[in-house]
Amino acid sequence: MIYCGIDWAEKTHDVAMVDHTGTLVAKRHITDDAAGYKVLLDLLAEHGDTEDNPVPIAIETSRGLLVAVLRTGRRKVYAINPMAAARYRDRHSVSRKKSDPGDALVLANILRTDMHAHRPLPDDTDLARAIAVLARAQQDATCNRQTIANQLRSLLREYYPAALAAVEPWKNGLCRPEAHALLKGRPHPQPRGSPDPHTAPSHPQARRTPAWHRGGGRPVAPGAGAAAPRR
């Protein structure tokens, strides 16, 4: 029985293969393209990989073109949690130094010793995989938006707290188009003689009502008219 581990990276991957005794039988450095995938297939075929009995593969991600191609057919692909792989690494080495070839060997040995404790990626249909890609993209976009909003909130608290107070009553206020319009109307601060950030909303450019209606073509939120002088 042969087991394969792939240490995934953005442009290149390290591949290691071990037998049932844990002996390293092959290793290779491949690129993340069609040529690299062909090298991987040839390497697997040299060590008994067939359509009816494919070599199982462990990798630290469930995404990417390489994983998508490996999941075709009857091959079992195991997405190992990076934290779990780090614990296995500590069993084989006292050094905490990361090594890509060594990580590929660790992944292969994870399947050799504990394949029963890990679940392979499901044999989804093309439609199910497409839905998973869209759902993951939506989740990533939401997380990125929240991260950027938190960074903006921190900057406004320090340099322009009045704008932060203006959007505070709204849910996800900094992500609304009205907030974007307000920040666009704010003049850039000058090194000297810039207005006090606490009194910035009294600046003529910040008082322009049409700026609120330019926020994506949407009307101002209910109750915004009563609070307009404060803003």
Question: pLDDT tens per residue, the chain (231 residues)?
Answer: 899 999 988 889 999 999 999 899 999 999 988 899 999 999 999 998 888 889 999 999 888 778 888 887 788 999 998 888 888 877 665 555 555 568 899 999 999 999 998 999 888 787 887 888 788 889 989 999 889 988 988 988 888 888 888 888 888 788 888 888 878 876 555 555 445 545 444 443 444 344 444 444 444 444 555 555 554
Contact in structure between 16 and 105 (CB atoms under 8 Å): yes
Q: CA-CA distances (angstroms) from residue 48 to 15, 55, 93? A: 16, 8, 29
Query: Which of left, alpha, beta for 180 (phi over 0: left; psi -120 to 50: alpha)?
Result: alpha
What is the pLDDT, as a whole number, of residue 96? 55
- The 3-state DSSP class for residue 20 equals coil
What is the pLDDT, as a whole number, of residue 187? 57
Please name every residue paired with 79 in a beta bridge, in sequence order, or none if there are none: 59
Q: For 160-199, give the DSSP string.
A: -HHHHHHHTTSTTGGGSHHHHHHHHTSPPPPSSSPPPGGG
What is the pLDDT, as a whole number, of residue 109? 92
Distance, in Å, from the CA atom of 143 to the CA atom of 229, rounded to the nearest integer, reads: 34
What is the pLDDT, as a whole number, of residue 220? 46
What is the pLDDT, as a whole number, of residue 94? 55
What is the pLDDT, as a whole number, of residue 189? 56
Record the pTM.
0.57
**Cβ atoms within 10 Å of 110's Cβ, excluding its own:** 22
